[in-house]
Each structure stands twice: as C-alpha cells, then as structure tokens.
Amino acid sequence: MYLLAIDTSANASAALLDATNAHDVRVMDSFTSTFSNDHSEVLAPAIEGLLKNAGIEGAGLAGIVVGVGPGPFTGLRVGLATARTLGFVWNIPVHGVMSLDAIALEAVAGAPETEFVVAIDARRKELYWARYTSTGQLLEGPNVTVAEEIPALPVYGAGAGLYAERLRAVGASVVEGFEDLHPNAVAIGTRAARQLAAGEQPLSTEPLYLRESDAKVPAVMKGKLL
C-alpha cells in the first residue's frame, strides 16, 4: 500500500512511501524545503510532483499521514489543512502522528541504552519536547518549556543543538549527530505504517499547538470585529 506523508512542524516535508511491508517501509520519493517559512508555497507543488513521478493517482493511496505538531501555528496548519483537504477530495483516510515521534523513531535506530528526550525549537527561547523509553514509547509530553525544565537525559533534535549549554547545565546530554534533526515526513509515515500494521490507531488530525498563535489581532481592530 502507498502512503503520502506530510509534516510542516518545522520545514515543509512530504514523502511517498510503499508501506506494503511495515517492517521495511520503502521511500519512493521525498521532498524537504530548505527554508522554514515557505510551507504554503511549496507543499502542494511538491506533493503533485511526488505523485506524478511515481505514476500514482491520489485516490489510489491507502491513506495520508500528517504530523500534528507541536509546532508553530502558521506552518503547522498548512500541513493539516492540506492533508485534510486531499483526504476529503480523494476519499481516503487521514491519520495523525505527533511530530516529535519522527525524531524518536530515528533515535531508536541508534539503539539508545536509556530513556531519552526529543526537543525542537519552540521560539520565545523555549523548546517543544517529549520523553521516551529506550524503545521509543512515549512517556511524557509533548510539553513546551524552557531548556532548564527538560529532564536530565540524552536529548535528540534541533532543540538540543540550539540550547546545548543550557541543557548541559541541568545534566542533560546532547546526542552528537542528532543536534540539528527536525521532524520529517519519511519518519512520520514510517511510524504510522508500523502502528497501522500492529493494529494500533494513530492520532486524529487535531493539532498540538500547545500555546496560542504569535499573531494577534491589533487592539485597535478588536472593537471593529465585535
């Protein structure tokens, strides 16, 4: 079966996966933007290109998998709106996966010996993070806090590289080779394929914003909107 995976919790990312064998998910093609603010411009054309190159119609997909965050409000909703719209048009199911789980899946491939944390940038000098077992099972989170409130465990993800000194100050260790890692569609899709094969139900597409949007209605406009 073929799955389309989407994640916009960081950079815009999309992937087409052959998940016929959930233990050996094959990446047919993928796309990740090199910019962090072009989600609405590049995502739809990227998806169109992936399907065209593979010769697959959208209605022929087994489903769509989308990262539900946590992530910035504006970027995250582009991916969610795209996934929901395509799922409706093509009449196929849409599944959600917490975006931090994508990095956790990659961390587990390195056979960690202890519990670990996945952390990415949440802006405002904070991090989105979650704690996992050594086999990648979620124990806590997702949360949004300052770096000093993260458990004293190995930390994977771009948040670790961003606040390395602050994390080390509270006993956490930054895992080399993973300190610039962002969630990506390939890992999102792989995680969902394994869940579905195991009979587990992925998340809904309800977004995990964790806090309000940075964009606010100017005070001078509020009276006019009421």
Enumerate residues 6+ apart whose C-beta is below 8 A from 135: 108
pTM of the model: 0.89
Q: What percent of the chain has pLDDT over 90?
A: 84
User: What are 21-37's pLDDT values in tens digits?
Assistant: 988 999 999 999 988 78
Confidence of residue 153 (pLDDT cuts 50, 70, 90): very high
Instruction: Supply the pLDDT for residue 22.
Output: 83
Per DSSP, 139 falls in state E
Cα distance between residue 127 and residue 160, in whole Å: 9
How far is residue 201 from each of residues 93, 158, 191, 192, measured CA to CA in Å? Answer: 12, 28, 12, 9
Mean pLDDT of 124-142: 96
pLDDT per residue as tens digits for the range 45-96: 999 999 999 999 999 999 999 999 999 898 999 999 999 999 999 999 999 9
Q: What sign for the dihedral angle of Cα 55, 57, 63, 65?
A: positive
Q: What is the pLDDT of residue 217?
A: 45
HSE (side-chain half, CA atoms, 13 Å) at 139: 13
Please list, in sequence order, all residues whose beta carbon lies within 8 angstroms of the beta carbon of residue 202, skipping any fewer than 6 positions away.
65, 95, 96, 97, 192, 195, 196
Spatial CB neighbours of 65, under 8 Å, sequence gap ≥ 6: 3, 4, 5, 6, 83, 94, 95, 96, 97, 188, 189, 192, 193, 202
Report which DSSP code applies to 56.
-
Select the more confidently predicted residue: 103 or 219.
103
Q: Evaluate if residue 171 carries a pLDDT over 50.
A: yes
